[in-house]
Structure 1
Amino acid sequence: MLSLLFTICMIWFVGKLFAFGLKASWGIMKLLCTVIFFPVILIGMVLGGLMYIAFPLLIVGGIIALAASHS
């Protein structure tokens, strides 16, 4: 009986840790994309001659950042 109770609690505990890990990794990935990947992609587009695409993306990103900071 104790073995069954231990097994159920262990499955619950591992499930909670798995969910926490997914939430943490999603937060880290959002941070990386916002701070590192997006600016590097925009700089690469400008250096590659795609200024007409990079500038509107920069404006849209700025508007979204401005709207997110006020809410």
Structure 2
Amino acid sequence: MVCFCFLVDQRQMTRKIKPVAAMCSRCGCSASVADMKIETRFCYVPFCWRSWRAVICTFCGSILRSYGR
């Protein structure tokens, strides 16, 4: 009998943040533009990643708008 166990996970990281003159529509705090990255790992080895730019709230962390690259 053979048993295979695979571990796949995703991590979302914020790489670079710049302030912008905007407000969050949910909580009313300031927003900023950030370079985001999602990294998919298989058995702790990254094999796929995606980068994009998004406008995020600095207080609640919600993504208000995203721009593809």
TM-score normalised to the size of structure 1? 0.26
Question: Higher RCO, 1 or 2 (CA under 8 Å, sep at least 6)?
Answer: 2
The structure richer in strand per residue is 2
Structure in which a larger fraction of residues adopt helix? 1
TM-score (norm 2): 0.27
